[in-house]
Structure 1
C-alpha cells in the first residue's frame, strides 16, 4: 500500500474526542447572563443595606454572593471544557468537567443549607426585632431576580428532566483489539438521557434562592400580621433541610458520573446486549460509562464461534445514538 493511501486510511480512522453536551454554548451564555444579574442585585442589596442600616438587606446580599460564586464555578467549567475540548491529554475529552463543577456546586449548596439552618437556630434562641416592611421588600425583589434567572436557565435545559439537545453531530473514535482491526462509524445526533449536571447545579442554586425568598415572604407576612416573629427562623430551618436534600441528590448524580457508575434506570447496557448477542455471539465483558452530557463510551468483549470483522459488530450498534465511543474485542470460541 502506498504512503498516500496509508495516510488517508489513518486519517479516516483518527478523529477527535469532543463529548460536550449539544447545548453547551447556549447554556454557557445563559449562565454568564445570570451571573451578571445576580452580581448587580447583590451589590445593590449590600449598598442599600449599608445606607439604610438594614442587616436583613446586607445579609441577603452576601447570601447572593455565595450563589454567584457557585454559578461562577459552572460558567468557568463550560469555558474550560470548550477551550480544552481538543486537548489530547484529556483522553476521553472534557465532557465530564460539568459533573465535576456540579459536584463542587452541590457541596457549596449543602454548606449554604447548613448555615441557613444554624443561623435560624441562633435566631430562635436570641430573637432580634425585624423591620417587616423593609425585609418583605427585599425578599420580593430577590424573588423576582431569582425567578428571571431560573427562567433563563430552564430555557437552556436547566432542569435535570428537561435536557434539550441540538442537532450537532459528534464523531466517536472506535478501536478494536483481538483478531480484527478498528473501524470508525460516523457520529450522529445524540439525544441522550445523560443530563447536564452543570446547568442543573446552576438551576438548583437559583431555585434554592427563590425558594428561600418565598419562605421568607410567607413568614414575614404572617409575622407582621399576627406577631409570630418565631415563624421566620422556623422557615429558615425548613428551607435549610429541603435545600440540603436537593444538594444530596445533585451530589449523587454528578458523583455517579465521575465514578463511572451506571445509573439504575440506564437501559444502554441492555440495549447493547440485545443488539450484539445471538446464538453464536456472546458478550463476555461489557463496560458502559458517560463521557459527557448525552455521550457514552463502551468496551464490548465478544466471544463467537464465527468471528467477523469488528466493523460488523459496530454496525449492529449504530442505532444506539448515545454511544459516541466504542471499543470492540472479538475472540474465537475455543
Structure 2
C-alpha cells in the first residue's frame, strides 16, 4: 500500500496545553523581569556596600534559574512536539520542569530554615530601613510576576485518536482508526488541564512574595520593638509554607511523570458508557500525556463483540480523551 494512501488513518501526537504559547511568553517575560531585578540589586549592593541588597539579589538568582527551567521546557516541548522520537509527544516536558523546580523550592526552604535557626541562636544587627526598602521592592516585582503567571485553565478541544484492535475467535485482526475530530466534554468533564509547569513558575514568585510580606512584617515589628528574633522566627514560618507548596508540586508532577491514574471520575464515565449489552471492561489504563490531555487503553470482552470504532464512538464527546486504544475479545457464553 502506498504511503500516501495511509494519510487518512495517521495522526500526530501533539499534546500541548491550549495556552502553551501564551504561557511560554508569560514565563520568559517574568524571567527577564526577575533577571533585571537581580542585576539591579547585585549592582546596587556592590556599589553601596549593602549586604541586604546583595543577599536578596543572589536569592533572586535561584528563582531566575528555576523560572528559566520552566521557560526552557515550554520551548523544547514546542520545538519537538512532532518529533517521532517522543512516542506520546512532549506534553510531559512541563511536568519534568515542574518537578525539578519543586526540588529547587525545597532546597530554598531548607536554606531559609537553616539561616533562620542560625540567626535565632546568634542574632545579627539589622539595618531595618534598608531591609524594609529591599523587601518592599522585591514584593512589588513578585506581585507583578505573580499576576502575569496567574493560572488560567487550559481550554482545549481534545483529539479522538483511536488505534483499535479487534480480536475475534479465529485470531484475525481488524485494525481501525478514526480521523481526528474535535469534540466537547459532557458528564461534567471539561477540557481544563492544569499546567504544572506554569504552576511551578507561579509558586516560585508567590513564595518570594510571601517571604517578602512576612519579612516586612517582622522587620517593622523588630524596628519598633527591638526584638531581633522576629525576623528569623518569621523566616522559619516562611520555610515551612514554601516546603508545603513544593511538596504538593512534587507529588502532582511526579504522579504525571509516573503515569499514575489520571482521573477516577473519567474512568467511571468510560466504564459506564462501555459496559452494556454483555460488554465488560476488563482492563482500563488512563493517564495524562499533556496539560488537559488524557490517553486511554481499554480492553473489553463481549459475547457479541462489535467493531472497535463503535466503542470509540461512545467516548468521542469526552474532551479530555485525546488518544484512545480499544481492544475487544470474544468471550461466548458457555453452552
Contact 2:154 2:191 in 1 (8 A): no
Aligned runs of 1:46-65 on 2, under 5 Å? 46-65=42-61
| RMSD of aligned alpha carbons | 1.5
Structure 2 spans left out of the alignment, 5+ residues? 168-173, 185-189
SS state of the match for residue 317, structure 2? Answer: coil
Contact 2:183 2:318 in 1 (8 A): no
Tell me, in whole angstroms, the C-alpha distance in 1 between the residues paired with 2:88 and 2:264. 20
Tell me, in whole angstroms, the C-alpha distance in 2 between the residues paired with 1:189 and 1:18. 16
2:155 match: 165
Higher strand share: 2
SS state of the match for residue 136, structure 2? Answer: helix
Tell me, in whole angstroms, the C-alpha distance in 1 between the residues paired with 2:178 and 2:318. 15
SS state of the match for residue 155, structure 2? Answer: coil
TM-score (norm 2): 0.92
Aligned runs of 1:41-80 on 2, under 5 Å? 41-80=37-76
Asked if 1:88 is matched to 2:84, the reply is yes
2:265 to 254, 264, 267: 267
SS state of the match for residue 205, structure 1? Answer: helix
Tell me, in whole angstroms, the C-alpha distance in 1 between the residues paired with 2:183 and 2:239. 40
User: For each residue in 1:148-206, what CA deviation from the matched residue of structure 2 results, as whole angstroms up to 9, or x when unmatched?
Assistant: 0000011xxx2xxx42425xx55443211233322215232674343110000000000
SS state of the match for residue 182, structure 1? Answer: strand
Tell me, in whole angstroms, the C-alpha distance in 1 between the residues paired with 2:245 and 2:93. 20
Contact 1:31 1:74 in 2 (8 A): yes
Over 3 Å counting, the alpha-carbon distance change for 1:126 and 1:189 in structure 2 is farther
Contact 1:192 1:294 in 2 (8 A): yes
SS state of the match for residue 175, structure 2? Answer: coil
TM-score (norm 1): 0.93
Structure 1 residues 127-136 or 181-190, which shifts more? Answer: 181-190
Aligned length: 321
User: For each residue in 1:219-263, what CA deviation from the matched residue of structure 2 results, as whole angstroms up to 9, or x when unmatched?
Assistant: 000110111111000011110011001000000000000011125
Structure 1 residues 175-184 or 91-100, which shifts more? Answer: 175-184
Tell me, in whole angstroms, the C-alpha distance in 1 between the residues paired with 2:270 and 2:244. 34
Aligned runs of 1:224-239 on 2, under 5 Å? 224-239=223-238
Aligned runs of 1:3-18 on 2, under 5 Å? 7-8=4-5, 10-18=6-14
Deviation of residue 51 (structure 1)?
1.6
Structure 1 spans left out of the alignment, 5+ residues? none
Deviation of residue 97 (structure 1)?
0.7
Tell me, in whole angstroms, the C-alpha distance in 1 between the residues paired with 2:181 and 2:77. 20
2:119 match: 123
